[in-house]
């Protein structure tokens, strides 16, 4: 089998992803990152055969089949478009576009270049063991018509964790310091879209304001602790999910309910799922309630178990490579249209939050009419790569900011 040549743009998260491609008949041939220390550390791990760049304009001209796009969270779209123009396949982290206008530009580029460049959203949480099992049960039909699903990506962090600040949040204008609670949405929304096949069409959201208090190192302007998002979907079902929340104890929790039964993974119980039916709707010979840990049933099980994010990193890379080798675009919800839909949910749910829960329609970017509506919409809560300031607040209390003491401690940490 011919070895596929992979480039990595953004070696922080990108190198974690790259490990899974190296296990699957791929060569990491080039890396690009503007941070000297990270670039050199990645190069040392990969060896002398890898080309090292600090400039994307030079990196993009390297001989590569595909690129892992893992630069800053909100800055993927412009680089993705340039790669597709050049016929290079894209494995894109997190949300595909930081603004609605970028979503328009990404879809227009995708439609122009889709015959020569594959785009896949590198959303890995659907491939966690319990989420794969929920997909299997939904596909089997025993739950009946799917009516409702929940997704929670709950990731509270220790405000005194200085290692995290140094590694992941290392300057005051960093996107994490201006991240609205609704924006980091794919880990909660992606799994339930995949399992059910549904696509959000309308969104409303509200947030909980509970900023970090005390003399701890932080420069975050996001005082909200969670955004609770609700969507009406194209099949009539309802989703309720979070962005990246920070309440209670850490968990990734999902629940899917149909007319005849429901399945969920139970918080605090590892990979176990609970499958339940009513006495009058259960399949013949099945119990009404089953608590169990699913099996992988995959020939790559040992590699999957060693992979990050519950095996999701390996399996998502495998899906992308299959698309390349078979010459096809990925399916819902990993395709370009689904990626831009999820990003639209992230962006428009924040607008809903800031407008008292007002509902917003999610545009169907298959149509030029929808694209035209948003082609000039560049509102953003983030600082731009060119130094431009945020155009909208990232928090329900627009005047909220960290205390002078918190920022002073943060600056000491990141020196």
pLDDT single digits (tens) 36-58: 999 999 999 999 899 999 999 99
Residue 344 near residue 182, CB atoms below 8 Å? no
Q: Which residues of the chain have pLDDT under 50?
A: none
How far is 170 from 410, CA to CA, in rounded Å? 9
- Same domain for 129 and 119: no
- Same domain for 135 and 94: no
- Same domain for 201 and 59: no
User: Is residue 50 exposed (0-12), middle (13-18) or buried (19+ Cβ within 10 Å)?
Assistant: middle
Residue 288 near residue 278, CB atoms below 8 Å? yes
Q: How many CB atoms lie within 10 A of CB 158?
A: 9
- Same domain for 232 and 112: no
Say whether 155 sits in a helix, a strand or coil: coil
Give me the CATH number covering residue 190. 3.30.360.10
- Same domain for 136 and 53: no
| Domain assignment of residue 275, given as a range | 125-300+337-374
pLDDT score recorded for residue 2: 83
Give the rounded distance of the alpha carbon of 220 from its chain centre. Answer: 21
- Same domain for 88 and 57: yes
- Same domain for 100 and 194: no
pLDDT score recorded for residue 1: 64
Within-domain flag for 203: yes
**pLDDT tens-digit profile of 117-169?**
999 999 999 999 999 999 999 999 999 999 999 999 999 999 999 999 999 99
Give me the CATH number covering residue 112. 3.40.50.720
**pLDDT tens-digit profile of 346-383?**
999 999 999 999 999 999 999 999 999 999 999 999 99
- Same domain for 150 and 93: no
Q: Global pTM?
A: 0.96
Q: What one-character DSSP code corresponds to residue 381?
A: S
- Same domain for 147 and 104: no
């Amino acid at each position: 089998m011919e070895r596929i040549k992979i480039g990595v743009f953004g070696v922080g998260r990108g190198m974690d992803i790259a490990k899974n491609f190296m296990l699957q008949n791929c060569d990491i041939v080039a890396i690009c990152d503007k941070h000297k220390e990270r670039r050199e550390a990645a190069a040392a791990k990969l060896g002398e055969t890898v080309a090292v760049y600090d400039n994307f304009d030079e990196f993009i001209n390297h001989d590569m089949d595909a690129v892992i796009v893992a630069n800053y969270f909100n800055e993927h779209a412009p680089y993705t478009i340039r790669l597709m123009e050049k016929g290079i396949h894209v494995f894109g982290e997190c949300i595909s576009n930081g603004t609605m206008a970028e979503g328009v530009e990404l879809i227009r580029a995708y439609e122009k270049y889709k015959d020569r460049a594959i785009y896949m959203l590198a959303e890995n949480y659907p491939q966690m063991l319990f989420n794969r099992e929920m997909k299997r049960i939904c596909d089997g039909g025993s739950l009946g018509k799917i009516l409702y699903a929940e997704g929670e990506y709950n990731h509270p962090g220790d405000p005194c964790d200085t290692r995290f600040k140094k590694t992941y949040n290392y300057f005051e204008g960093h996107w994490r310091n201006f991240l609205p609670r609704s924006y980091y949405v794919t880990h909660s929304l992606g799994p339930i879209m995949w399992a059910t096949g549904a696509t959000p069409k309308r969104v409303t959201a509200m947030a909980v304001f509970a900023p970090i208090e005390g003399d701890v190192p932080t420069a975050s302007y996001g005082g909200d602790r969670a955004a609770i998002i609700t969507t009406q979907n194209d099949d009539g079902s309802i989703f309720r999910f979070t962005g990246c929340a920070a309440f209670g104890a850490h968990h990734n929790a999902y629940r899917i309910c149909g007319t005849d039964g429901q399945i969920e993974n139970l918080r605090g119980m590892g990979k176990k799922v609970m499958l339940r039916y009513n006495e009058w709707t259960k399949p013949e010979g099945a119990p009404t309630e089953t608590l169990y840990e699913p099996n992988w049933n995959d020939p790559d099980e040992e590699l999957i178990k060693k992979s990050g994010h519950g095996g999701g990193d390996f399996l998502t890379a495998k899906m992308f490579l299959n698309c390349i080798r078979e010459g096809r675009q990925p399916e819902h919800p990993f395709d370009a249209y689904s990626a831009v839909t999820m990003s639209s949910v992230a962006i428009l749910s924040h607008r809903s939050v800031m407008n008292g829960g007002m509902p917003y329609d999610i545009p169907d970017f298959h149509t030029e009419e929808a694209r035209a509506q948003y082609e000039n919409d560049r509102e953003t809560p983030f600082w731009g790569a060119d130094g431009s300031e945020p155009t909208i607040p990232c928090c329900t209390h627009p005047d909220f900011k960290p205390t002078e003491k918190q920022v002073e401690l943060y600056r000491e940490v990141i020196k």
